[in-house]
């Protein structure tokens, strides 16, 4: 069939929602990262050398059959056990296996958001969550555990608060105990459901409070979600959510409508990994690899960016948030950086209000080699210095 015979005869009439659907800057960046020789500080890509070897797998036929929308019972049980050990009391019946934790963002967005619905988010926050919530029509308000009532006491009560308290994307920040308590108290007092997104929790390089904020809630409804993308491999497309019982039925129905159930082959594989006695050692080895990369990265920043930028050393996760001293629109730095073979994520799309220039950029340190980190940071610093003096 030629493209001409595929052309529509009439203009298709799309839903009104589609007007709010934007391209993902991250997905577009992935095509750039794939160019040969490109040094990538852009996506949140785990290091491929840490991926599991799957060559010797003997897959049971049941792993290829249709399954339950909620997920395979044994996997739900294993996830619930892990979360109880982390301090989040839950039963396997509260666990819903997801096709990547990105699906949880979509399901929670669908559950709560109509056009104009207020949603409280950190600023900056995960841009693909902003993209989904915006698509459903969200109006953003600011969540900040350092503000009175965590910023949730607005004229109109937010439909929910979305937070990444542990090794935040993009800042790497980890809420301390007081910030966790403040957010939980605000959600309880103001009756705002909490949506806690926690894909980076296993990647802890320094000692930090990591007990989920949801574990502190007394009255507010909640959804907590995690992912196997960072601790195992993102191509498995497997994550999970755990929710307070009042939210479970609609979430399961939304999941059914979206994809019936998550990939059973991945669920079978991940269950084997969770049951494997070697799992804690494997995570410890992964953390060691990333800790070393983080340390190299921070040393590189000290070498090339002192005087040009400020940053916090991230205690975990995959990102450094670099705040430039010059108030540049970092989107304008990107073409020249790509031309010189270095990719990064400009900071602006991480803010709900998408400011004209935020002078910050997100740098990923897990994917590039030590040698690439050195070369890439030197190039970036040169471009920042030129732009700042121009």
Nearest CB to ligand PMP, comparing residues 145 and 199: 199
Peptide bond into 170 cis (omega under 30): yes
Residue nearer to ligand PMP on the CB measure, 162 or 297: 162
Q: Which is nearer to ligand PMP, 44 or 193 (CB)?
A: 44
Which residue's entry shows tokens 């935020």? Answer: 358
Give the residue, chosen from 158, 239, 300, 314, that forms a contact with ligand PMP under the rule CB under 6 A.
239
| Least gap, CB of 229 to ligand PMP (angstroms) | 3
Q: Which CB, 239 or 300, lies closer to ligand PMP?
A: 239
Q: Is 165 in the site for ligand PMP (CB under 6 A)?
A: no
Q: Are 196 and 216 in contact (CB under 8 A)?
A: no
Which x/- pattern, by CB under 6 A, does the window 348-377 give for ligand PMP?
A: ------------------------------
315 is a contact residue toward ligand PMP (CB under 6 A): no
Q: How far is the CB of 230 from ligand PMP (least distance, A)?
A: 7
Nearest approach in angstroms of CB 44 to ligand PMP is: 4
Of positions 212, 234, 315, 352, contacts ligand PMP by CB under 6 A: 234
- Distance from C-alpha of 387 to C-alpha of 169, rounded to nearest angstrom: 26
Is 199 among the residues that bind ligand PMP (CB under 6 A)? yes
* Closer by beta carbon to ligand PMP, 151 or else 239: 239
| Helix, strand, coil abundance in the chain, percent, nearest 5 | 45, 15, 40
Using the minimum distance from each CB to ligand PMP, give the nearer residue, 217 or 241.
241
227 binds ligand PMP (CB under 6 A): yes
In the complex, least distance from residue 386 CB atom to ligand PMP, rounded to whole angstroms:
31
Let me know: does 271 contact 72? Beta carbons within 8 Å. Answer: yes
- Which candidate, 106, 88, 316, places its Cα nearest to that of 211? 88
Interacting positions 94-123 with ligand PMP (CB under 6 A): 100-102
Residues 6+ apart with CB under 8 A from 372: 39
Closer CB to ligand PMP, 236 or 373, in the complex: 236
Cβ atoms of residues 387 and 332 within 8 Å: yes
Q: Where in 164-308 does DSSP place strands (E)?
A: 194-197, 222-227, 239-243
Query: Rounded to the nearest whole angstrom, what is the least distance from the CB of residue 199 to ligand PMP in the complex?
Result: 5
Residue nearest to ligand PMP (CB): 100
Among 169, 179, 266, 267, which residue sits at the site for ligand PMP (rule: CB under 6 A)?
169
Structure tokens at 257: 């409508």
Q: Count residues binding ligand PMP (CB under 6 A).
A: 13
Distance CA 256, CA 260 (A): 4
Q: Which residues contact 345 (CB under 8 A, 6 or more apart)?
A: 25, 26, 29, 41, 42, 43, 170, 361, 362, 363, 364
Calculate ∠ Cα 293-299-300, nearest 5°.
90
Residues in the chain: 390
46 versus 376: smaller Cβ distance to ligand PMP: 46
Question: Does 262 help bind ligand PMP (rule: CB under 6 A)?
Answer: no
C-beta of 12 vs 48, nearer to ligand PMP: 48
Question: Coil, strand or helix: which one is 87?
Answer: coil
164 scored as a contact of ligand PMP (CB under 6 A): yes
Asked if 170 and 200 touch (Cβ cutoff 8 Å), the reply is no
Token pair of 97, please?
């296996």
- Angstrom CA distances, 289 to 293, 319, 370, stand at 6, 14, 11
> In this chain, which stretch among 78-86, 147-155, 226-234, 275-283 interacts with ligand PMP, using CB under 6 A?
226-234
Task: Find the binder of ligand PMP among 44, 71, 151, 315 (CB under 6 A).
Answer: 44
**Dist. CA 136–CA 130, nearest whole Å:** 10
Rank residues 72 and 196 by Cβ distance to ligand PMP and give the closer one: 196
Q: Which residues bind ligand PMP (CB under 6 A)?
A: 44, 100-102, 126, 164, 169, 197, 199, 227, 229, 234, 239
């Amino acid at each position: 069939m030629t493209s001409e015979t595929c052309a529509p005869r009439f203009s298709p009439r799309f839903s009104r929602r589609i007007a709010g659907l934007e391209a993902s800057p991250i997905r577009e960046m992935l095509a750039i990262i794939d160019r040969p020789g490109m040094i990538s500080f852009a996506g949140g890509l785990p290091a491929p050398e840490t991926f599991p070897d799957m060559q010797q797998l003997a897959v049971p036929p049941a792993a290829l059959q249709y399954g339950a929308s909620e997920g395979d019972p044994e996997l739900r049980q294993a996830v619930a056990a892990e979360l109880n050990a982390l301090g989040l009391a839950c039963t396997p019946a509260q666990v819903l296996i997801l096709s990547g934790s990105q699906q949880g963002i979509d399901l929670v967005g669908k559950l709560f958001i109509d056009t104009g619905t207020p949603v409280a988010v950190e600023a900056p926050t995960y841009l693909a969550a902003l993209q989904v919530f915006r698509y459903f029509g969200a109006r953003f308000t600011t969540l900040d555990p350092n503000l009175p009532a965590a910023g949730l006491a607005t004229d109109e009560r937010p439909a929910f608060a979305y937070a990444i308290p542990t090794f935040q994307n993009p800042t790497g920040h980890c809420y301390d105990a007081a910030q966790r308590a403040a957010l939980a108290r605000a959600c309880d007092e103001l009756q705002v459901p909490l949506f806690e997104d926690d894909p980076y929790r296993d990647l802890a390089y320094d000692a930090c409070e990591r007990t989920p904020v949801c574990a502190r809630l007394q009255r507010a409804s909640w959804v907590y979600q995690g992912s196997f993308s960072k601790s195992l491999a993102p191509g498995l497309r497997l994550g999970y959510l755990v929710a307070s019982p009042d939210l479970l039925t609609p979430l399961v129905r939304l999941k059914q409508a979206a994809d019936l159930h998550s990939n059973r082959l991945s669920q079978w594989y991940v269950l084997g990994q969770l049951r494997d006695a070697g799992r804690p050692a494997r995570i410890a080895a992964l953390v060691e690899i990333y800790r070393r990369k983080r340390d190299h990265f921070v040393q590189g920043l000290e070498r090339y960016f002192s005087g040009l930028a400020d940053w916090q050393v991230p205690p975990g996760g995959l990102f450094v948030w670099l705040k430039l001293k010059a108030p540049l629109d970092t989107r304008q730095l990107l073409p020249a950086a790509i031309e010189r073979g270095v990719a990064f994520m400009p900071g602006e799309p991480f803010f709900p209000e998408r400011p004209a220039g935020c002078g910050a950029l997100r740098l990923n340190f897990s994917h590039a080699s030590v040698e690439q980190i050195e070369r890439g940071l030197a190039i970036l610093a040169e471009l920042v210095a030129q732009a700042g003096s121009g």
